[in-house]
Amino acid sequence: MSYIDEMRKYIGHETLVTIGCGVLIEDQGSVLLQRRTDDGFWGIPGGMMEVGETFEETARRETLEETGIEVYNLDLFGLYSGENCLVEYSNKDKVFSVQVIFKTSSFEGELYNNGDESIEQRYFSKEELPIHLNPTQAPFIKDWKNGCKQPVIK
């Protein structure tokens, strides 16, 4: 059982503070985005930190689980917090998730849709980003699009 599942036993749907880690994977000026099965929004690969993990371990594990890609040479892209990081899921669970975002163009592996989390994955150029971005992730995807200087701290 995950840390989040364990904590939900005690706090129910109340707000849980978590740390999310994700990776902006670049390939020839484009970024990898995945369309999620749970909400249909596009976002980057990533997920919640488990107890004892480092930021990089979380980002690598989640990226591999969701995409089949192993990422290397992670550079800190940004740290994101604030009201935009407060989310209420359809099951009424509330989370405030501080986001640690990395960027890399060093990776290997073949993309796959694991079915549990993503419907589709593909690379988008800065000019063709999809309209339906995950609202929590839109700030760092837009910062990438705008070429923001690293690290972004919000």
Extract the tokens encoding 150. Answer: 């690293």
Extract the tokens encoding 30. Answer: 């484009």
Extract the tokens encoding 64. Answer: 């591999």
Mean pLDDT confidence for 102-114: 91
pLDDT at 109: 94
Each residue's pLDDT tens digit, 30-43: 999 999 888 889 99
Tell me the domain boundaries of the chain. Answer: 3-153
Quote the percentage of the chain above a pLDDT of 70: 98
Q: Classify domain 3-153 by CATH architecture.
A: Alpha-Beta Complex (3.90)
Confidence at 118, pLDDT banded by 50, 70, 90:
confident
Does the pLDDT of residue 116 top 80, yes or no?
A: no
DSSP per residue, 74-119 = -EEEEEE-SGGGEEE-TTS-EEEEEEEEEEESEEES-----SSSEE
CA-to-CA distance for 55 and 58, rounded, in angstroms? 5
CA-to-CA distance for 131 and 41, rounded, in angstroms? 9
pTM attached to this predicted model: 0.93
Mean pLDDT confidence for 64-73: 95
User: 37-41, 81-85, 102-106, 107-111 — which is least confidently predicted?
Assistant: 37-41
